[in-house]
Chains A and B, each alone.
Chain A
Amino acid sequence: MIDYTGDNIISALGFTTEENYQAVKDGLSGISFHNSTATLPEAYQAAIINREQLHSSFAQHCSSDPDAYTDPEKAAILSALTAAAGAGIDLSSPDVLFIISSTKGNIHLLDLPDSFYDARSLYLWHSARQIASFFGNTNEPVTVSNACISGLCAQIAAMRELSDSRYKYAVVTGVDLLSRFIISGFQSLKALSPAPCRPFDISRNGLNLGEAAATIIYKKRSNNAEDNLPHDLHKKQCLAETKPLHAKTLNSSRILLVAGSVTNDANHISGPSRTGEGSLAALTDILQYADRSEIAFISAHGTATPYNDHMEAAAITRAGLNEIPVNSLKAFFGHTLGAAGILESIISTQALLDNNILPVPNFEQCEDEYPLVIPTENTPTQKQYFIKMMSGFGGCNAALLFQKTEKDGLVH
């Protein structure tokens, strides 16, 4: 069990957690249509980070040579910087461990001639070091690359590191930006929908891609109850766009990451088990730690592919959770790959703190076989837990259990 102590999202919907959550609550999607071009002959829908804003924000707040960092690295650095400023944490401290989650890193560089870039940039560990060393942090970062569930695996790694080792904080940053490599690849798999995606709807026909950088900062839970109270924010110079730490300290509620589980279907490398075996096992694992009647919602993977959503509906039903509202954020952000697990956990924690269950846009009707409760508007809740679940290529599945705690930080 670890303390959630800071966060940030950089996505098509904005450069702060607040902007992103508010946009989703207002029903705004970051997904837009991209016409075919000479370099990508097939049109697609995707949620893209504003590159001008990324470059100017980086130039303004990260006083360093912009050419020394790739766009994914800039986004990750800016995200970690914002999260740390909001939480008042010094990232250069030896007590801080960086855990980086990405599926393809700087793969866009393959489009350039070899001489145009440092070959080491193609290695995820190099990007991770670039990010950590920007902050003067000398601990070797942990780099997780486990397909779409990477962002959840990275949070589980944080839980393990903070219980086991000397680190006091884990900065978990996920990033993936889109590229010809990624877009063409998903197009070749015929996995993309030509329209905005429709998670869990009976007429869904594929996913939309997205890009994001997202950071959660976790803190080791102390045996001393006082240490677990929200610490005073230093009056540091934060980024111009950052608003003060929001609902988390206003009502003194805190978020805990309680448990996590990773499993494998052992069935197929690019399609999920039809009956959701692995997903069910991950859910069953974390349910040991929850009072089911207190689960406010399940933030599913909900990519809107025919196979994925059916599989999740099967797993959720077989776990006996089919009366709990299920949502998906993919219609707002697209599938953000290595960032997804972190981004979607953040939005879901904001919702829990806001006592709100976010709706699924573009949803009309469930499939017959495993009907779920899919909210179509913002819905109030007083419950204390949510589940975040995802699945990925390679047959892997993950589920995390989050809990909102009372003012004194103690779990009642």
Chain B
Amino acid sequence: MDLYINKYSYIAPGRIYPNISCESDGLSSIYRALNIDYPKFFKMDGMSKLGFLAVELLMIKEERTFNPRADIALICFNSSSSLNTDRQYHKSIFLDSYYPRPSLFVYTLPNIVTGEIAIRNKITGETSFYIFPEYNPEQIVRTVRQTLDGKPGHTAITGWIEYSDNVHEALMMQVSNRQESSADIPFSPEKAGELMQHLRSITINQ
């Protein structure tokens, strides 16, 4: 089955694709620029906010119906799991100030971001999370291909959601066997690698 990247989105400090005008770099600023009404956003940890927004950007031109979609698989990858939030939770259990915070603990798993995206977009198909040392297009293409195998017509929303102290970066792609436009990119390791390289190097613009 030939697969295509139908559309993609990217968020990193100072780089957002599709480009929208935001007051600042911060994730809350992107949220406001997107004009979404979703108060739960403010309860999320950094990684969940990042992933949530990357999918909102991915869907920016879509008419959102929010009907349950069992035909969409949400497959995400990163390197640090939920380590950023893990460290924050751990501060709440320091020996000299022991107040374990459940509102933080619930976010100490990498697949909570896939849960948040699934809730927002009503994705009832497969949601999965895998950990690799770095953005690995070969592995991502292989995993997505294997997940969609035997499910023609299904769609994968897939990508890299990395939120750590020094860097936040999300690349999300919609992948399917449909060629939705001439701009679609073949979903191959080479093309998925080139796409990330290109997005990582585009000039900072607001």
Binding partners A and B: yes
Residues of A at the B interface (CB closer than 8 Å) are 38-39, 41, 103-105, 107, 110-111, 122-126, 128-129, 140, 142-147, 153, 157, 160-161, 163-165, 180-181, 184-190, 261-270, 277-278, 281, 392-396
**Chain A residues positioned under 8 Å from B132 (CB to CB):** 125, 140, 143
Contact of A145 among B87, B90, B129, B147 (CB under 8 A): B129
Distance of A85 from chain B, by nearest CB (Å): 28
Contacts of A124 in B (CB 8 A): 81, 131
User: Of the candidates A38, A142, A181, A262, which one forms a contact with B93 in the assembled complex, judged by CB atoms under 8 Å apart?
Assistant: A181
Residue of B with least CB distance to A122: B83
Please tell me if the beta carbons of A266 and B81 are within 8 angstroms of each other in the complex: no
Report if B118 contacts A (CB, 8 A).
Answer: yes
Closest B residue to A153 using CB positions:
B128
Given known contacts A110-B90, A145-B130, A395-B127, A187 and B100 CB-to-CB distance under 8 angstroms: yes
Among B102-110, B186-194, B195-203, the stretch in contact with A:
B102-110
CB-based contact B123/A264 at 8 Å: yes
B158 within 8 A of A: no
0/1 string, B56-98, CB within 8 A of A gives 1: 0000000000001010001000011101001101100101001
Residues on B with C-beta less than 8 A from A188 are 100-102, 105
6 residue pairs from A and B, CB less than 8 Å apart:
A104-B86, A122-B83, A188-B100, A263-B126, A264-B126, A394-B112
CB A273 to nearest CB in B, in angstroms, measures 10
Contact with A along B161-201 (1 / 0, CB 8 A): 00000000000000000000000000000000000000000
Question: Which has the most chain A C-beta neighbours within 10 Å: B80, B110, B119, B130?
Answer: B130
Contact residues, B112-136 vs A (CB, 8 A): 112, 114-116, 118-119, 121-133, 136
Residue of B nearest to A128 (CB): B131
The reply on B205 being an interface residue by CB < 8 A is no
Partner of B79, one of A125, A140, A186, A267: A125
B130–A144 contact, CB under 8 A?
Answer: yes
| CB pair B100 A393 closer than 8 Å | no
Contact between B108 and A185, CB atoms less than 8 A apart: yes
In the complex, which residue of chain B has the Cβ closest to the Cβ of A107? B86
Question: How many Å lie between the Cα of A39 and that of B105 in the bound state?
Answer: 18
The answer on a CB contact under 8 Å between B89 and A181 is: yes
Q: How far is the CA of A129 from the CA of B132 in the complex (A)?
A: 10
4 closest pairs, A vs B, by CB? A394-B115, A188-B100, A160-B146, A185-B105
Asked if B124 and A266 make an inter-chain contact with CB atoms under 8 angstroms apart, the answer reads yes
Q: Are B98 and A41 in contact (CB under 8 A)?
A: yes
Docked-complex contact B116 and A269, CB < 8 angstroms: yes
User: A125 with B87: in contact, given A266-B123, A396-B111 (CB under 8 Å)?
Assistant: no
- Which A residues are in CB contact (< 8 Å) with B83? 122-123
| Alpha-carbon distance A348/B23, docked complex (angstroms) | 56
Decide if A146 touches B111 in the complex (CB within 8 Å): yes
Most buried by B among A123, A128, A264: A264
Known contacts A123-B81, A264-B124: A269-B115 contact under CB 8 Å: yes
B residues within 8 A CB of A270?
A: 106
How many interface residues does chain B have, given as a range? 35 or more
Q: Does B37 contact A (CB under 8 A)?
A: no
Complex: A364 Cα to B2 Cα, angstroms: 54
When distances are taken between beta carbons in the complex, the residues of chain B under 8 Å from A263 are 70, 124-127
Q: Which of B79, B90, B124, B127 has the most CB of A within 10 A?
A: B127
Distance of A120 from chain B, by nearest CB (Å): 9
B111-A164 in contact (CB<8A) = no
When chains A and B are docked, how far (Å) is the Cα of A277 from the Cα of B112? Answer: 18
Task: State whether A145 touches B111 (Cβ < 8 A).
Answer: yes
Take A110-B86, A263-B70, A264-B123 as given contacts and tell me if A393 and B115 are in contact as well, using a CB distance cutoff of 8 Å: yes
B130 near A266 with CB under 8 A, answer no
Which residue of chain A is the closest to B101 with respect to CB atoms?
A188
Contact with A along B27-70 (1 / 0, CB 8 A): 00000000000000000000000000000000000000000101
**Are B127 and A264 interface neighbours, CB within 8 A?**
yes
Asked whether A145 lies within 8 Å of B119 as measured between CB atoms, the reply is: no
With a cutoff of 8 Å between Cβ atoms, the chain B residues found around residue A103 in the complex are: 109
Whole-angstrom CA separation of A83 from B82 in the bound complex: 30
* Contact partners of B86 in chain A: CB under 8 A: 104, 107, 110, 181
Given A184-B100, A188-B105, A269-B112: A281 and B129 interface contact (C-beta under 8 Å)? no
Residues of A within 8 A of B101 (CB): 188
Please measure, in the bound complex, the distance between the C-alpha atom of A123 and the C-alpha atom of B133, giving whole angstroms: 8
Known: A103-B109, A123-B80, A145-B81. A266 touches B146 (CB 8 A): no
In the complex, what distance in Å separates the CA atom of A412 from the CA atom of B98? 59
The interface residues of chain B lying within 8 Å CB-to-CB of A105 are: 81
Contact status of A396 and B115, CB under 8 A, knowing A145-B130, A264-B125: yes
Q: Smallest distance from the beta carbon of A284 to chain B beta carbons, Å?
A: 10
